[in-house]
Amino acid sequence: MTDAYIRMIERISESSHISLEGARQSVMNALGGIPYGRPAQPQEIAELVGFLVSPRAGYLTGTEYIIDGGTIPTI
């Protein structure tokens, strides 16, 4: 839910003559849906980055984190 994302939703809303909520939903549908029902907030991503650069993550190696609200099914 960055400023760029909000501007994109506004452009989609204007060009498609739909509400902002309709534009947001159309983007989520195009992604195959977001089980959490909303895009991530920038601070949610920043929290993980803050952890990863902290000493508390000092023993983590070769790990991939997917922050997508459950869009991509993972095991």
Q: Which residues contact 2 (CB under 8 A, 6 or more apart)?
A: 42
Q: Could you say which DSSP state residue 70 is in?
A: T
**Could you give the 3-state DSSP secondary structure of residue 3?**
helix
Domain ranges of the chain: 3-57
Examine the pLDDT at 57 and tell me if it is beyond 70. yes
Check: pTM over 0.75? Answer yes or no.
no
| pLDDT tens-digit series, residues 14-55 | 999 999 999 999 999 998 899 998 999 999 999 999 999 999
Q: How distant is the alpha carbon of residue 21 from its chain centre?
A: 16
The residue written with tokens 């947001």 in the block is 24
